[in-house]
Amino acid sequence: MDKSGRNEMKRRDLIGVALGVDPPDLVVRSATLVNVLSRELHPADILVKDSRIAAVLEPGGAYDRSVRVIEAEGRFAAPGFIDPHVHLESSMITVAEYARAVIPRGTTMVAADPHEIGNVLGLPGMKALFEEASAVPLRVMLRVPGRIPAVPAWMETSNGELSVADTRAMFDWPEAVCLAGDINPNLVLRQDQEQLEKFELADELGVTISGQSPGLSGRALSAFIAAGPEDSHVASSVDEIVENTRAGMRTVLALRPARRLEATHMMELARRVAEDRLDTRLFQLCTDDIHAHDLLHEGHLDHRLRALIQAGFDPVEAFQFATINVAQGLRVDRDYGSIGPGKMADIVLLDDLRAVTVSTAIIAGEIVYTDGEYRGPTGSVSYPDWTKSTICYAKPLTAADLSLRPTRNADTATVRCITAPTGRGKKTATETELSVLDGVIVPAPERGINALAVVERHKASGEIGRGFASSLKLRRGAIACSVNHDAHNVMLLGANHEDMALAGNRLAEIGGGYVLACDGEIVAELALPIAGLMSEASIEEVASDLTALEGALNGILGADLSDKALINMNFLSLPNIPDYGFTNKGLVASDKRMQLVESVI
């Protein structure tokens, strides 16, 4: 099956079925249709021929005994959910495991930007990911990465590179639907030549241009939208959503504690929609980055739909955010995003609309999940050897390699300490005094300040950015991690440099992932050997290991894990969102300054 739907059956084959001359292959009978086109609920029979819907009729028709009938009285039939903005690698599992997890939750299509694996393994890595995706029933569409590497080389070292010519070639992939927009908006406002050329290419091809406009307002927002981007997934307030909407930019709601939008924001947005009669056609819903244990236990788009409904949105309106609004934003609504004649037969049946409980999922006219049974491929997936062993240091790490020395002889030093994202989604760099011991600036774990190092891991250059952070606020030990957006160099965070070096060296031995060390011993680890980002294990195994890792982080290292602190730590490096990032080059001012900043003042 071509996931794009472009080479499916001929539409003329639907005419006879719609007229009652030819039999359908499948009928969903007497369902309550969640009609996202008219924003209403009404009873319907849905007639399917091959991979498409031939007709949506009033219930009560008679069908030949050879026709497969799903009795859906008392259940709701909705279009399959579409995630417009996702990074599959962030789930830490293979695409096959991801599909097994999300299809029972009602998701039938995702638009995936593979820039995570692309920054590590380049174009071949992205091809490997989509080669695996071609074998699963989930429709995995391609958001062609907007920029690899994400920022100029003087800000961060990546292993991938995607030229304008490469970008054009990726648009020849049958899954390609849009140009992804995980880029620093200041590159656009500075009229970066490469970025504008890619926008012009997307315009030439007639595809959607995604973007991100954190905190942009007034003239800056107008300039950004005028350059081409049509959506943003990083709004962190209702006022920002309203301003984006008034300017014609689609808002992709990414619900994420402490970084962007939370439940309280959704309640305020629902109130504004009701009181000010705001049009919600430009609102979409996405998961963006989601860890395996959250995916397994909380859910996917279904979890976010429940949050919207609980916040006060009408259920049918909320469903529009995950179906027709997305399809229109991606310009694929001719085939996807609604239940109607000629549309692809991607249908989910729900027992409870408000609770978003899915009992059956149909993709391209085939039942791929029903009554707790997933019918897609299962079992382990093996990636080629060249996708592994990607942690390459110049030499084994030592405590001295990771330590930072003062600029003058004194008992204390003033440093800039980067903080984890706040409720406004911004990272800050606060000035603080730290002690100097034996010529080395030492962290203050009792104050929630840890030593921080980012080690270049792609080219064995030996380059290390050194500084301090208030993120997990480890009281003891250290964590090493190879999941650090976007270049995914190795981040070391710790209460002391010795445990940081120990954890970092062990991380290289297991091929990437997460390692915890305390008092000279390895106390927990999660191996992610595929590009240092993903595991070939089942989602249940990865989720269990991740839960155990968080348990050790809290119980042994004394970490503060409130507001999903672990996934927020993965973005401490990111130089794409304001106001700071921390890379192998050191502290980066990622706001309009776009410059390196000394960690020691």
First to last CA, the chain: 59
Task: Return d(Cα 535, Cα 523) in angstroms, integer.
Answer: 20
- Give percent above pLDDT 70 in the chain: 97
Residues 587-597, mean pLDDT to the nearest whole number: 92
Task: Return d(Cα 514, Cα 499) in angstroms, integer.
Answer: 14
**Using omega within 30 degrees of 0 as the cis cutoff, is the peptide bond preceding 486 cis?**
yes
Residues 349-356, mean pLDDT to the nearest whole number: 99
Mean pLDDT score across all residues of the chain:
95
Tokens of residue 355, six digits: 């609770």
Residue 1's pLDDT is: 41
How sure is the predictor about 9, in pLDDT bands with cuts at 50, 70 and 90? confident
How many CB atoms sit inside 10 A of residue 99's CB? Answer: 29
Listed as own residue / partner, the contacts of 224-230 with beta carbons closer than 8 Å and 24 or more positions apart are 224/185, 224/188, 224/189, 225/249, 227/188, 227/196, 227/199, 228/199, 228/200, 228/202, 228/203, 229/181, 229/188, 229/199, 230/329
3-state secondary structure of 515: strand
Angstrom CA distances, 533 to 54, 183, 262, 395, 552, stand at 42, 20, 26, 22, 20
Q: What are phi and psi of 558, to 5 degrees?
A: 70, 30
Tokens of residue 398, six digits: 């030592």
Nearest to 590 by CA among 179, 113, 214: 214
Task: Decide if 571 contacts 580 (C-beta within 8 A).
Answer: no
Query: What is residue 425's DSSP assignment?
Result: S
Residue 426's pLDDT is: 81
Domains of the chain from N-terminus onward:
81-329 (3.20.20.140), 388-597 (no CATH)
Task: State yes or no: pLDDT of 312 exceeds 50.
Answer: yes
Look up tokens 């606060």; give the residue: 430
What is the per-residue pLDDT across 375-424, written as a single tens digit (0 to 9) for each? 998 877 899 999 999 999 999 999 999 999 998 999 999 999 999 765 45
How sure is the predictor about 130, in pLDDT bands with cuts at 50, 70 and 90? very high
Task: Return d(Cα 125, Cα 168) in angstroms, integer.
Answer: 17
Q: Which of 67-71, 75-79, 198-202, 426-430 has the lowest mean pLDDT?
A: 426-430
What is the per-residue pLDDT across 435-464, written as a single tens digit (0 to 9) for each? 999 999 999 999 999 999 999 999 999 999
Residue 4's pLDDT is: 53
Task: Return d(Cα 421, Cα 471) in angstroms, integer.
Answer: 8
Task: State yes or no: pLDDT of 223 exceeds 70.
Answer: yes
Tokens of residue 285, six digits: 């819903």
Residues 208-218, mean pLDDT to the nearest whole number: 96
DSSP codes joined into one string, 109-155: EEEE--HHHHHHHHHHHHHHHHHHHTTSSSEEEEEE-S-SSSS-TTT
Task: State yes or no: pLDDT of 162 exceeds 50.
Answer: yes
3-state secondary structure of 221: helix
Antiparallel, parallel or unpaired: β 76-79 and 347-352: antiparallel
User: b/e for 292-323, b at 16 or more Cβ within 10 A?
Assistant: bbbbbeebbbbbbbbbbbebebebbbbbbbbb
Residue 112's pLDDT is: 99
Residues 15-38, mean pLDDT to the nearest whole number: 98
Residue 257's pLDDT is: 64
Residue 588's pLDDT is: 97
Nearest to 450 by CA among 479, 426, 422: 479
Residue 8's pLDDT is: 58
How sure is the predictor about 563, in pLDDT bands with cuts at 50, 70 and 90? confident
How sure is the predictor about 295, in pLDDT bands with cuts at 50, 70 and 90? very high
Q: What are phi and psi of 455, to 5 degrees?
A: -105, 125
- Give percent above pLDDT 90 in the chain: 90
Task: State yes or no: pLDDT of 5 exceeds 70.
Answer: no
What is the number of helices (H) and of strands (E) in the chain?
17, 29
**Using omega within 30 degrees of 0 as the cis cutoff, is the peptide bond preceding 149 cis?**
yes
Task: State yes or no: pLDDT of 425 exceeds 70.
Answer: no
Task: State yes or no: pLDDT of 46 exceeds 60.
Answer: yes
